[in-house]
Amino acid sequence: MAQLLGLTLLSFFITGILLVPFIDFLYKIKFQRQKQKTKDPFNRYTPVFDRYNTWKVGTPFGGGLLLIAVIAVLSLWAFGMFSVDVKPWQLFVILFTFVGYGALGFYDDLKKLSKRETGFFGIRMRYKFLIQWVLGLIIASVLYYQLGYTFIFIRGIGLTDLGFLYIPFAAFVIVSFANAFNIADGLDGLASGLLLICLGAFLAISSTQLDKSLGIFVAVLMGAAAAFLYFNIYRARLWLGDVGSLSLGATLGVIGLLTGKIIALAFIGGVFVLEVGSSMLQLLSKKFLGRKIFPASPLHLLLLKRGWEEPKIVMRAWLLGFIFAILGLYIAFF
């Protein structure tokens, strides 16, 4: 555990130093939020977000690019430094998720800058969603065929073998958390702060399972996320961008799958579940009932519309996330 905590501090220190010139670099290449109508991951316009966040125009995004680079390099260095016997396919799952979803998110970020809806940058949302599922199914297949994952742990029942159904189930978990994180990344510090809480819980779980390779990756990710949060809290100097939110969300889902604690993951990431759940309910209500069930969605936009200040929403979400994480750990350990 001491080594893991040391890696967290090292990751925090390195990422924190690199973020300052990286922010200046993003300003220089004008990788900044543009004044245009915002769309959510379901391709719906979000007028409530635009109404309360016009002052964020000009803030650079794309912080996820640096996080992906630092975490990947530092994790690989740590595996060699501590002579960790990493399963090649486990390493593939982690890095493929991290980089694959990051590349898809980077495409979305470039689209925001292009302001184009046709041609290469005008690919339909349904196809981007399909790509997410293709990536998820590839990762899930490796978990099933190469690493032998076929089970989930349910408290009071034990290990439940899903057989071949594990593949679509695991893909669903990965895609769901990728989009849940992306949706939650709408307020300064919201998603990155919640991620830090979730990672703390999974660091404890991986330590008890003696999975040192996963523990190293989680520890490095924690340090980088903490450094990013310093620049992302209200009023943010930097955002993750889709390159970071899709990558980190999908990776959080994979971490839950690798520990085998899927039910615990649903509670540890409970606020993310509430965010994507409220968006899905709104989407389904409009499609099948022809009306909205919420004045606005997801949950953080609803609270904004009701007059809550952004820092209050974020800090109370962190508190709720902490309680959810404790509940998830209770389910995982007992």
Q: Is 159 helix (H, G, I), strand (E, B) or coil?
A: strand
pLDDT tens digits along 223-277: 999 999 999 998 889 999 999 999 999 999 999 999 988 889 999 999 999 999 9
Question: Quick check: 181 and 191 in contact, CB under 8 A?
Answer: yes
Listed in sequence order, the residues at least 6 apart from 234 whose beta carbon sits closer than 8 Å to its beta carbon are 187, 188, 189, 310, 311, 314
Mean pLDDT of the chain: 87
Q: What is the pLDDT of residue 3?
A: 84
Residue-wise pLDDT tens digits, 264-311: 999 999 999 999 999 888 888 877 777 888 888 889 988 988 889 999
Q: CA angle 181-268-134, nearest 5°?
A: 45
Kindly tell me if the per-residue pLDDT of 53 is higher than 90. Answer: no
pLDDT tens across 202-216, in order? 999 988 776 788 999
**Report field, pTM of the whole predicted structure over 0.85:** yes
